[in-house]
Amino acid sequence: AQSVTQLDSHVSVSEGTPVLLRCNYSSSYSPSLFWYVQHPNKGLQLLLKYTSAATLVKGINGFEAEFKKSETSFHLTKPSAHMSDAAEYFCVVSEVFRVSGTYKYIFGTGTRLKVLA
Amino acid sequence: NAGVTQTPKFQVLKTGQSMTLQCAQDMNHNSMYWYRQDPGMGLRLIYYSASEGTTDKGEVPNGYNVSRLNKREFSLRLESAAPSQTSVYFCASSGDGSGNTIYFGEGSWLTVV
């Protein structure tokens, strides 16, 4: 079974400094990986996804993530944090349900990003 | 441009009451899901439906039932609400294939007193 570990439950950065949110996964085959963002009292919005094409994936709002198979990591980065980036971020891996053949999405426990003025 | 729509957005129930959360998607997706979100636990899958007419249990199905009414609609029912079911509930849908994005509704905040 696949799993996702987000290594930090909280991250604080100053506005204008780089952001690094860490995610490790376990997988028995080539996974599809996603990052979602959730602003307070809102639903989840897709930031970016990896589906075995380019290992460096660019997403919305200046975020990107690099798939590193040797390290089983999919860390999310942004060169310069903005106040509007304050939110909770979820790393997600998808795997197939054996019986039904549909896909399930396994969520990490989330990283809350705080951006300081 | 509706995507996934779920209702109600907020609900307060008394212990033992029942209620149904409604969900509809307009993206012609086969797969639909119900998750609950609790602080520090990420999202946990309650039930999912791979296609119209089929439903299966996820990680935390106890105390819930679901109905896949048609391809668009997937409802979640609490037959006898308990305080442990106080949570935020998200409906979601996805297309076929591992790389498909899962799309979420705006969430339903449920408090059981």
pLDDT at B95: 85
Burial class (CB in 10 A: 0-12, 13-18, 19+), B104: buried
Inform me whether the C-beta atom of residue B97 falls under 8 Å from chain A C-beta atoms.
Answer: yes
The percentage of chain A sitting over the pLDDT mark of 70, rounded to a whole number, equals 93
CB-CB under 8 Å, A44 with B104: yes
Range with top average pLDDT, A28-32, A106-110, B79-83: B79-83
pLDDT at A98: 61
Mutating which of A34, A102, A107 best tests the B interface, going by the most B Cβ atoms within 10 A?
Answer: A102
pLDDT at A100: 64
Residue A94 DSSP SS3: strand
pLDDT at A31: 80
- For B10-42, what is each residue's pLDDT tens digit? 999 999 999 999 999 999 999 999 999 998 888
Residue A52, pLDDT > 80, answer no
